[in-house]
Structure 1
Amino acid sequence: MAAKFNVPPKSLANLRPFELHIPENEVVEFKNLLKLSKIGPATWWNQQNNSQFGVSREWLIKAKETWLTSFDWRIHEEYVNKFPNFKIAVQDFEVGEIDIHFAALFSAKHDAIPIICMHGFPSSFADFLSMMDLLANKYTPETLPYHIIVPSLPDYGLSGTRTPNTEMTLERSARIMNQLMIDLGFGGGYIAQGGDLGSLLARIMSAEYETCKAFHLNMLVLDPGQASPSSDSLTPEEKHHLKRTEEWRPTGMAYALEHGTRPSTAGLAISSSPLALLAWIGEKLMEWTDPRKPFSLDHILGTVTLYWFTGTFSTSLYHATAAMRYLSNTPFPVSQEKPLGYSWFPYDLVVFPQAWAQEVYPNMVFYKSHSKGGHFACLEQVEEFLEDIEAFVEKVSDSFKKNVE
């Protein structure tokens, strides 16, 4: 696969092919540390198995045993390495030089549309690999209508960390992602896609950079201080899921407030032990999905292991500055002119009914509601997610190509 989808000749970047391989001594060290890590004492709260108070002690005991005995990190590495992976040094006037990793499927078509797909927390670029697999099986390099760029976001995963002399922010991260696309030769224009943190970056890119011509989101939120439109025209299903998210918010947002207000303490404490990291991230990966189709334990362990080996949990916490914006009523930038697409997945943390979206975003040209799926839509409902992306791109392709000429 990697040999077929080559870098387009117009790319301006000095790309370095990349292959994921954690040295064996680090794998051994991890297993030894995990073996020595203790499970906390039993309490009334951690013996409840209904997730009301977070992960249970029983789940953590079983997950640790699986992690030690049958989990195979090398299988996850092999899957990542099926795809073309690269690294590139991106220059930013505030952050300096930052090493950005991305997976990609480059098209041989001269009019292929560049799309940057951006993950959220607690996720990684690997969330999009199933979608890339579908595209690689559906198209050849000669017929692929898009360039698919899937980065590890700044200070996440394989993009690594910088000298910690500059705070990473939403605006800086968005600017670096825009520069990545320019460095890849897509300064004429691209489409931004994202959920969670990626959705906020796509919003900022749509508002701040002419190079971002359109954007598709699978998480859409009201701005801080923005009043909710009328609920009179909502469907019973929309009302049900709005009620569910309202009930989740008082307790489910606690993690974001801790990340946003005490990132030093949270980062140091949670990254100090594999079990601490597993409990913290595992809770989100279980709670934020459609309960009818939960993630496998192997997927959860793979995600947490990537965070552990890359040491990027502490640096990833800038995602939670979004929560601080809500406390200060600071709005998120977003274009009201560039074409917007939105895919509704009912078990996301926040949902945005169609009537609201049409009222708030007159530039919305695509809206699709789904009956299944949650916060990690590109993994939970990969076929439907890809169909939405392709349908949105088809909607905007004429105007996109006209704008980049």
Structure 2
Amino acid sequence: MAPTPFTLSIPEQDVADLRTRLALTRFPDQAPDAPWAYGTDLAYMKNLVPYWRNQFDWRAQEARLNAFPQFKVALPDVDLHYLHVPGQGPAPMPLLLMHGWPGSVFEFLDIIPRLTDPARFGGDPADAFTVVAPSLPGYGLSFRPGQKRFNIEEIAARFATLMTDVLGYKRYGAQGGDYGAFTASRLGYAHADALIGIHINLLTIQRDRPPPANPTEEERRYFADLAAWLKEETGYQWIQGTKPQTLAYGLTDSPAGLAAWIIEKFRSWTDCNGDPESVISRDHLLANVSFYWFTGAIGSSFWPYYARMHFGWPIPSGSTIAVPMGYCAFPKEIIRPPRSIAEKTYTNIQRWTPMPRGGHFAAMEQPDALAEEIRAFFRVLRT
């Protein structure tokens, strides 16, 4: 399991093919009503597609990723891609940093330097981390056609192998949002001996749990919000979790369709007042979408949804996670269980911080604030 250095270089013919397909985009009409009322807005897409074709510079975004040391290593059923960025400090702590869907390692381009070299951003070098940021198996460069599909339990097992057996870190921290938070939680449950602690910005609480017999006002509000979200905002989960192959045809063939599918989530899930580009630049959004396009991994990326719907929750029902846990409560996160609910799963919550701004893609929206919280949580756990 010897790692091999890796540099991303998308063939020029693939870049040209993307531009050709964008030029041939066939747009739908839009139902008469407020923009974005039924999904991605037509006017927005008619502006985005020509920009993507004629002005977006993929090579500049590729160079941003290649500025970090990257590797691949052959693990069971996957050639795993990861960034491995040394910390700049007296004793950097190893930190496994994990993305989710529809994100990628492009989420972390701004936060990694804040974690590896805090002094550069006015912080303490003693808080430095050595960051390991993998592409989840089945995502991005951890995908090849015909590859085995991975559930969260298997993803966590591969990452445990990466950190301990490949890189030699006997103990390490883990941080993530979305499926990265699911994976961090699974690591805290199944590989607790190796975990210094887990820090997450999405709580992985089973959503079919009944409300308490006598709920507090906060709990009552959460279950009402959850019911509304399950009714109006989870259509993507049902199609990705039941018929992922069918959806994959359209999104693998049409770059405009892929962008519409992904960017709608960035608009819905960020703290952006309806304008995702007010918190994440257009080029950064398109870098993430382009990464899905060029790697052809969108269909494989759906698999954790299918596994969750058909094979159960990654933390077995009734089980708890006892490793030290920290949580950032961003106000526009998609699901926001109160602490009283979270404590039924996470029994060692050591830091719970309500954040003033931010949403689901915290590493892109609020890299300074998230990095500061990660440093603060792990500061007291360093040995």
Same fold (TM over 0.5): yes
Judge conservation of contact 1:286–1:295 (CA < 8 Å) in 2: no
Paired residue for 1:35?
Answer: 23
* SS state at 1:87 partner: strand
TM-align CA RMSD: 2.6
Q: Quick one: which of 194, 207, 212 aligns to 2:176?
A: 194
Identity of aligned residues (%): 30
Q: Quick one: which of 241, 254, 258 aligns to 1:277?
A: 258
Paired residue for 1:167?
Answer: 149
Match status 1:158 vs 2:141: yes
Cα separation, 1, equivalents of 2:84 and 2:279: 27
Cα separation, 1, equivalents of 2:361 and 2:300: 21
Judge conservation of contact 1:107–1:143 (CA < 8 Å) in 2: no
By how many angstroms is 1:323 displaced?
A: 5.2
Paired residue for 1:353?
Answer: 338
Cα separation, 2, equivalents of 1:379 and 1:314: 24
Alignment of 1:107-146 (within 5 A): 107=87, 111-139=91-119, 145-146=128-129
By how many angstroms is 1:224 displaced?
A: 4.3
What is the letter of the counterpart of residue 132 of structure 1?
A: I
* SS state at 1:213 partner: strand
Following TM superposition, where does structure 1 have runs of at least 4 consecutive aligned residues deviating by more than 6 angstroms?
Answer: 238-242
Judge conservation of contact 2:94–2:131 (CA < 8 Å) in 1: yes
What is the letter of the counterpart of residue 338 of structure 1?
A: V
Alpha carbons of 1:188 and 1:240: their partners in 2 closer, same or farther (altered >3 Å)?
Answer: same
Judge conservation of contact 2:116–2:130 (CA < 8 Å) in 1: no
Alpha carbons of 1:136 and 1:360: their partners in 2 closer, same or farther (altered >3 Å)?
Answer: closer
Cα separation, 1, equivalents of 2:221 and 2:330: 13
Cα separation, 2, equivalents of 1:330 and 1:159: 23
Q: Quick one: which of 355, 359, 363 aligns to 1:374?
A: 359
Alpha carbons of 1:269 and 1:241: their partners in 2 closer, same or farther (altered >3 Å)?
Answer: same
Paired residue for 1:18?
Answer: 6
Match status 1:78 vs 2:63: yes
Cα separation, 2, equivalents of 1:63 and 1:291: 17
Structure 2 alignment gaps of length 5 or more: none
Alignment of 1:126-275 (within 5 A): 126-139=106-119, 145-161=128-144, 163-164=146-147, 166-209=148-191, 210-229=193-212, 231-232=215-216, 234=218, 244-275=225-256
Between stretches 337-346 and 100-109, larger displacement belongs to 100-109
TM-score, normalised with respect to structure 1 = 0.84
What is the letter of the counterpart of residue 313 of structure 1?
A: I
Alpha carbons of 1:224 and 1:355: their partners in 2 closer, same or farther (altered >3 Å)?
Answer: closer
Cα separation, 2, equivalents of 1:369 and 1:239: 19
Alpha carbons of 1:110 and 1:160: their partners in 2 closer, same or farther (altered >3 Å)?
Answer: farther
Instruction: Figure out how many residues of one structure are paired with residues of the other and give that number.
Output: 372
